[in-house]
Amino acid sequence: MTNMEKPARLDVEGLSLSFGGLKAISDVSFSVEPGSITALIGPNGAGKTSMFNCISGFYKPQQGAIRCDGKDVSRLHPPQRAKMGFARTFQNIALFRGMTVLDNIKLGRHAHMKTNLLQALTYFGPAAREEVELRAEVERDIIDFLEINHIRHMPVGALSYGLQKRVELARALAMKPRILLLDEPVAGMNREETEDMARFILDVKEEWGTTILMVEHDMGMVMDISDHVVVLNFGQVIASGLPHEVQQDPQVVAAYLGSGDPAALMKRLAGEAGMA
């Protein structure tokens, strides 16, 4: 793997975000260890996607810091963060419909490329070289890796939902990620597609060594592949730890399933996890 980047450590410290009077996130702190898979879970409206948007720079939190390897990035614009190695996918697929799969993936590399306007207009020397090198690398490290060879020249609009999600992952991988933010990578997928995606995420962790932070509702998958779990509810961290610890935390169970008989619900949760 030629484009393997050094995985980053991410620290979120005392982050607060509000829209007008509405507090979406209040005083949230957690860390993502380099090279680990950390899952951010919580019921709908807990602030998970808001958290992601803060990390990638789309929202500006009112308080707190986001550190990448100790360096505060919370003042940086999204493109600057992308250049530092923050790569992400989106909850409701954000592929560029006017481009082919290949161009969507290549676009991910934008921040790391050097071709300037004049070179682009002439497609002379460095521009052509950079494009061909990128193409070769994308083919070798990403397209083969994610098994999307057969669709590389297709317009993304023509693809199935599961494949579109995979192309989004491919685009994020093209961003030379040091930390990969996956927003619900398997939402809406069937069992088989979910298993494929889980396998790809594990492969990314193992072969690329990238740090991964993901938001996911599929508890089975979260429990299976993550090293660390952070639970948000009403914009606050209510638990964090190893998957099986979090799973047994009564506060978590209550947050997810409301009040009721915790023992029975935990059993259901465990059962679901076992299935995957």
Partner 1 sequence: MSDFVFFLEICLAGLGSGALLALTALAFVLIYKATRVINLAVGEILMMGGYFFFTVAAGMSLSAWIAIPVAVAGGMAIGAVVERGVIRPMLGEDPISVFMVTVGLGSVLVGIVELVWGTDPRTLPDFMGTAPVFIGEAYVSRKIAISFAIAAVVIALFLTLFRFWRGGVALRATATDQAAAYSCGINVPGVFSLAWIISCGTAAGAGVLLGSIGGISPTMGAFGLSALVVVIVGGLDSVAGALIAGLFIGLLEALTGTYLGGEYKLVFTFGLLIMMLMIRPYGLFGTKEIERL
Partner 2 sequence: MRIATANETYRADEALLQTNVQWAWIGVLVVAMVAAPFMLNNYWLYLACLVAINVASATGLNILTGYTGLVSLGQGAFMAVGAYTVAWLETHIGTPFILNLVAAGGTAALVGILVGLPSLRVKGLYLAIATIGASIILQFIFLNWDGVTGGSRGMNVAPASIFGVQLTTYFQLYWVLTPIAALMVLGAANLFRTRVGRAFIAIRDRDISAEVLGIPLLRYKLLSFAISSFYAGIAGGLWAYFFRSVGPESFTIGESIFYLAAVIVGGMGSILGAIIGATFMTLVPEVLRFGVEAISPYVDNAGTLLSPVRTVVFGALIILFLVFEPQGLAEIVQRIRRFFHLWPFRN
3-state class (DSSP) for residue 100: strand
3-state class (DSSP) for residue 259: coil
Q: How far apart are CA 233 and CA 251, in angstroms?
A: 10
Contact 150, 57 (CB under 8 A): no
Which residue stretch of 3-11, 109-117, 199-207, 228-236 sits at the interface with partner 2 (rule: CB under 8 A)?
109-117
Partner whose binding site includes residue 22, from partner 1, partner 2, none (CB under 5 to 8 Å by kind): none
Q: Which of 9, 29, 90, 270 touches partner 2 by CB under 8 A?
A: 90
How many residues touch partner 1 (CB under 8 A)? 4
Nearer to partner 2, 113 or 238 (CB): 113
How many residues touch partner 2 (CB under 8 A)? 40
| Strand ranges, E, within the chain | 10-19, 22-32, 37-41, 63-68, 71-72, 86-88, 179-183, 211-215, 228-233, 236-241
Q: Does 94 bind partner 1 (CB under 8 A)?
A: yes
Nearer to partner 1, 94 or 187 (CB): 94
Per the structure block, which two tokens stand in for 192? 């088989």
Q: How far apart are CA 47 and CA 24, in angstroms?
A: 6
Q: Which of 99, 187, 202, 254 touches partner 2 by CB under 8 A?
A: 99
Nearer to partner 2, 23 or 112 (CB): 112
Angle between helices 191-203 and 161-174 (to 10 degrees): 10
Tell the smallest beta-carbon distance from residue 58 to partner 1 (Å).
6
Partner whose binding site includes residue 136, from partner 2, partner 1, none (CB under 5 to 8 Å by kind): partner 2
**Which residues of the chain form contacts with partner 1 (CB under 8 A)?**
53, 58, 90, 94
